[in-house]
Chain A
Amino acid sequence: MSNVSYSDMKPHQISGGIRGLQFLRDFFAAQDADGIRAASEGISREFGSQLPDVVDWLEVEYDFNRLFVGPAALPAPPYASAYEDDPTLMSPRTLEVRNLYRRMGLATPDQGSIPDDHISFELDALLGLVALENAGGPNAPDASAMREWLVLNHMSQWVPRFITAVTEEDASAPVLLAIRSLERWLDAERDRLADTQTEQSGEEDVHDQKR
C-alpha cells in the first residue's frame, strides 16, 4: 500500500485514512450507480488501488443490489445481526450498536426502520470516534475505548464473515475493491489495537473477548 497523501499519518490512524473510511461508508450506503461510482473512485484514491479502466456502473449497481440490497435473498447482507447463528435483524447485536450510538449522542435516522447495525451506520460511528480521538481533548479517551469496543468486540465478530460472503460471490471489480479495502482497514485497525493492548497488558478488559 502506498498512500502518499496520508504518509505522514501517525501509526494509530487508520488504513486508507479518514477519507477512505468515509468512502467505504458511502459505498455501502449508495442507492444508485452514481453513488457507487463516486464512492468507488474515492476508495480507489484513498486506498491506492486501481479500478479497471472501463466500468459499466449500471451493471455494478445491479451487482451491488444483488449482494447487499435485494429484492432477492441476499448472499451478503450488510447487517451484523445477519451473521449470527440465527440470522434475524434487530437482534441484541443490533441493539448493542444502538446503545453505542446513544452513548455518542447519536441515533439512526427514523430509528427502528433500517437496522442500526447496517455497515454504513457502523462505519459512520467509527468515523465520529476516530475524529474525536484524533482531536484529543476530554472526550478522546472515551472515544478511544468506544472505538476499541466497536472494532474488536463488535465489527470483528461479523465483518470478516461479511467479507468472505462477498468474496465467495462472483462480484464486480468495484465491489471487490471496496471489500478488499474494508478488509485492509479492519486488519490494520485490529493490528493497531492489538499493539495497544500489549502496551496495556496489565488491564483486565477486552482480551477475554473472542476475536
Chain B
Amino acid sequence: MTRKGNSLSRRGFLRGTALAGAAAMLPCGLLVPNSAEAAEAFNPGDFTTFRNACPRNCYDTCSIKTYVKDGVVQFIEGAQESTFTKGGLCVKGYSYPRKLYSPNRVKYPMVQDGRRSGKWRRVSWDEAMDRIAKKILELKERDDNLLGLGLTKYSGNFGITNYVVEGMMSSLGYTTRFVGTPCWPAGIDAQNYDMGNMWCNDPEDMVKAKYIIVWGANPAWCSVHTMKYIMEAKRRGAKVVVIDPVFTQTAAKGDVFWQPETSSDGALALGMARHILDKGMVDREFVNTYAIGFDEFEDYLRNNVTVEWAAEKSGIPAEQIREVAEEFASADPATIWIGYGLQRHVNGGATVRSIDALVAMTGNVGREGGGARYGHLQTWGFNYHAMIQSPPEGSKGFVGGAAKGEFDFTEADEASYSNRTVNINKTAQEILDSADPAISMLWVSCKNPFAQDFDRPKLEKAFDKLEMVVSVEQFFTETVANSDIVLPVTTLFEEWTVNVSYWHYWLGINEQAVKPLHESKSNLEIAALLSKKMNELSPGSCTFPQEVDTREWLGKEFNKASTTTSASATGPTSRTDRSRRSWHPRQRGMTTSSERPRASTNSSPSSAPRTGTRPCRNTRKGARATTPSACSPRTPSSAFTRSSSIWTG
C-alpha cells in the first residue's frame, strides 16, 4: 500500500525485512532466513574511510582503517599499508567500535556527592569547569602557589596531543607532578648505559635472524604483529628459544622452552656468557673494536660465574645452558628480545645488562636481524607543542630541580621555579606525605591509579585527604568512584592525534572519524575550556589558548608548525618564545635521516649529551646494516663494564 503524494511508503519502512519475512515461511530445515542487510554486497564506495591509530600502551601501536557510514563507525580493520600492522588487529583493537558505542561510557560531566557514595549529579561543562577553576584559584590564594594541585597521568592514551594534559597544568602555573615509570625503567637505564642509547632493531628485521631468544616476553598474546616475523624466521630455519617462568602461547610455538626460577634470568645469561668464553666463541673483533671493558667482564666471568652455578640458580640443566649458548654464539645473526617482566625485580637492571652483554660478546649488537631488543623512543621526536606551555607571569613554584618521566622530552627549564615532582610509584604515600603545601587537588587523566598503582588500600585513605579529585575518563573506573568530578573524554575515533610505537618504526595518523558521542571532549578541548573559565574568573590565570582546533594542533606537533602559535592565546607572550626555543634543536635533529632525534630520558644514568652519529658499520660477518635501527651502537658498547655484584656470592 503505497501512499502517494508524500515521501512515506509503509513498505519503504519494511523494505529491509520484507524478504526475510517471506523466507521464514519457506519449508526449509537447514537454511535459515538471511537478513537483507547481510545479503548486500560489500561496496567500499558506500563508506568514508579514516585513519586511526591504536593509543594503547602496547608494542604494536596499530594503524587502523575505519569505515564510516551515516556518521557511524561501521567497522574497522588493520591498515594494509603498514607492513607491521599488515591488515590485522588484535581482539582488543577490533573491539574499539564497541568501546566508542558502549552504553556504559561516561557520557556527561558529573559531580559525586561524597566519594564512593554513587550519588552522582549531571552538570554542564560550564558548571564543572566553574567548580574546578574556583578550587584552583582557592588553592593559589591559600598557598601562594599551585603546588597543591597534583597531576597523575600515564600511558592510558599515547596520542601525542594528549600531552596537552601536562601542558594544561603548566599553563596554570607550577604544580605537583607524579613522575617516573611503573613499567620499564631498570631496562631503560641498563640499555642506555650499555649501548649509549635505548634504540632497538626494527622488529621487521627479525625475519633475518637465525636464532631468536624470546626472553620474558609473550608476543603471541602481547605483540601479535611481531609473531609473524618470528614465525617467518622460524620457517626460514631459525631456532626459537622461549624463556619464561610461565608456559606461554609463545613458548608453545618455540623450539626450546626454558622455565627458569623467577629473577634468575641474569644468572642464566651469565652462565651462557661463561660457556661462550670457555669455548672461545667470543666475537673478538667486535669486543675489541666497539666495546669497552670486556677484559674486566671476562675476569668477572672467570672468577664469579660457572655454568653449574647458573644451572643451580635458574633450575635449567647445565647441559642445556651449554647447548643453547653454543648455538646462539654460532648463529649469524642471533637476537634476543628482552621483555619487561624480567626487569621488574630488584636485580632487574643487572639482568638486562647481563643479557645485553651476551648479545654484544657474540657480535650481535647493531646488526640487522640481531640486537638486544628492548624498546626505543627514537620515533618520538615531536614538537610537544601541546605539552610545552608556560606558566602565567609571576607564578611561584618549587625551588630546585625536578625529575621528569621517560616520555617527557622537553628541555630543562631555565626558570628558577619548577614543578614539584613526586614518585609515580608511591602515589598513595606521596599524597599522604605531601606538605607545604599538601596536595589538595588531583587531576587524573589517561590513568586509573586504583587499578594500576601500588598500595590499593592506602590509596583510598590518600584520596580521602584530597579536597577535590577530577577524573577524565571514558569509563567508570574505581578511580572515578573515588573522584568528585568526572569529565567524559573522547576515544580515538573522536579526536585528531598521532601515535608512534616504542617498538616498530611506523607513525600512525589518527583522524577524527565521527562526532564525539554524548558530551565527551578531547583533552585538548578540556584544556581550552578550563583556560576560558580560569581567565573569566581571574584574567591572566591561565596561558592556555581558549579556542583550539584539534586538527590544527596535531599539525603543530610537526616541523615548523609550532612557530605559529594560536592567536587566541591570552597568556604572556613568553610562552611563544619558550616553545620556539624548545623545538629548535629537535627540529634540526629531524632534518636528516641519518641524524635521528634523540629522546632524552632523564632516567639515563649517563646524562652526558650524545651528539653526532656514526655511519653504520659493515659487520665483519658481511651483513651490511641497511636500516637506521641497525646502527644503534653510536657509542662504544659498555655492556661489559661495572657488572653487578648481585651475581657474586
**Chain A interfacial positions (CB closer than 8 Å to B):** 31-32, 61-62, 65-66, 69-74, 77, 79, 81-82, 86-92, 94-96, 98, 100, 103, 110-115, 138-139, 141-142, 145-146, 148-149, 153, 203-206, 208-209
Contact = CB atoms under 8 A, between A and B. Distances in A.
Contacts of A87: 102-103
Contacts of A88: 97-98, 101-103
B14 A113 contact: no
Contacts of A65: 110, 120-122
Interface string B88-104: 00000000011001111
B37 A208 contact: no
Given A71-B480, A73-B104, A138 B7 contact: no
B121 A112 contact: no
B107 interface: yes
Interface of B: 1, 3, 5-8, 10-11, 13-14, 17-18, 21, 37, 70-73, 97-98, 101-108, 110, 113, 118-122, 473, 476, 480-481, 486, 488, 514-519
A112 B71 contact: yes
Contacts of B98: 86, 88
A153 B8 CA distance: 16
B110 A71 contact: yes
Contacts of B516: 113
A103 B13 CA distance: 10
A69 B122 contact: yes
A82 B103 contact: yes
A205 B1 contact: yes
B120 A71 contact: yes
A145 B14 CA distance: 12
29 contacts: A62-B119, A62-B120, A62-B121, A65-B110, A66-B118, A69-B110, A70-B105, A70-B476, A71-B106, A79-B103, A87-B102, A87-B103, A88-B103, A89-B102, A90-B72, A95-B70, A103-B7, A112-B514, A113-B517, A113-B519, A139-B6, A141-B3, A142-B3, A142-B6, A145-B13, A149-B14, A204-B1, A205-B11, A206-B10
Given A112-B71, A149-B13, A72 B102 contact: no
Contacts of A66: 118, 120
A90 B104 contact: no
Contacts of A96: 13
Contacts of B11: 205
Contacts of B519: 113
Contacts of A90: 72-73, 101, 517
Most buried by A among B8, B107, B480, B517: B8
Contacts of B102: 87-89
Given A90-B72, A205-B1, A110 B515 contact: yes
A145 B6 CA distance: 12
A115 to B, nearest CB: 8
Nearest to A110: B515
